[in-house]
Chains A and B, each alone.
Chain A
Amino acid sequence: NAGVMQNPRHLVRRRGQEARLRCSPMKGHSHVYWYRQLPEEGLKFMVYLQKENIIDESGMPKERFSAEFPKEGPSILRIQQVVRGDSAAYFCASSPRQETQYFGPGTRLLVL
């Protein structure tokens, strides 16, 4: 059973470009969470999704950020018009149901 997969592992974007981060949960897991870890900061919750539904997006910036978890395919975290402050490690986690969350290796985004 493969773990949570995230790609790309590293992403470099120039200011104003779009960043798309993908997350494939573990097999059988229908709950996906995205977290962001800024340099020298702890992990902060961004959004919680179940298949085709956003359950809690209270940690998501109101502008430029969006997330989806379609019926088929990976979950996508999309950042439009990136700025330098978006540079961070973005982690995805999955769980079957109110249990241990299993984390992916993260995507490290660098905005030049």
Chain B
Amino acid sequence: KQEVTQIPAALSVPEGENLVLNCSFTDSAIYNLQWFRQDPGKGLTSLLLIQSSQREQTSGRLNASLDKSSGRSTLYIAASQPGDSATYLCAATRRGGSEKLVFGKGTKLTVNP
């Protein structure tokens, strides 16, 4: 059974700082790993998707990496801004599974101006 863990549960940083959010998963037979952003009271916005054959994906100031052997993914945010404040969720799908996403509980990020 896949379990996804995100550490830390909450993070507060000053504006401009580079930061890393961590995600670990127990079953390395993943099909892909996806990072989302959730704003309070809102839905989820997909940020990056990494296929199991890939090591990383980049979009603007965001870079996500995947290491299946260690069961870890990281989301790197460069030059953080107050608008980056949100909860960041990672989720994995299992190879050969039904494509359902298994989510971590998220990291609540606050970027202070």
Interface 9-mer from A14-22, A65-73, A74-82, A91-99 = A91-99
| B101 contacts A35, C-beta separation under 8 Å | yes
Main secondary structure of the interface of A (DSSP, over half): strand
For the complex formed, measure the closest distance between the CB of B27 and the CB atoms of chain A, giving whole angstroms.
Answer: 14
Q: Which residues on A sit within 8 Å (CB–CB) of B105? A: 41-42
Q: Given A98-B31, A100-B34, A101-B34, are A91 and B44 also a contact pair (CB < 8 Å)?
A: yes
A59–B104 alpha-carbon span in the complex (Å) = 16
Task: Kindly state the interface size class of chain A when it binds its partner.
Answer: 20 to 34
By beta carbon, the residue of chain A nearest B45 is A103
Asked if B54 CB lies within 8 Å of chain A CBs, one says: no
Asked if B86 CB lies within 8 Å of chain A CBs, one says: no
Main secondary structure of the interface of B (DSSP, over half): strand
How many chain-B residues does the 8 Å CB contact rule pick out?
22
Q: Which residues on A sit within 8 Å (CB–CB) of B100? A: 33, 45, 48, 56, 58-59
| A102 contacts B46, C-beta separation under 8 Å | yes
A103–B34 alpha-carbon span in the complex (Å) = 12
Q: Which residues on A sit within 8 Å (CB–CB) of B31? A: 98
Chain B residues within 8 Å of A, Cβ to Cβ: 31, 34, 36, 41-46, 49, 89, 91, 93, 98-106
Chain A residues within 8 Å of B, Cβ to Cβ: 31, 33, 35, 41-45, 48, 55-56, 58-59, 91, 93, 95, 98-106, 108
Q: 21 interchain pairs (CB within 8 A)?
A: A33-B100, A35-B101, A42-B103, A42-B104, A42-B106, A43-B91, A43-B101, A48-B99, A58-B98, A93-B44, A93-B101, A98-B31, A99-B49, A101-B34, A101-B99, A102-B46, A103-B36, A103-B43, A103-B46, A105-B42, A108-B41
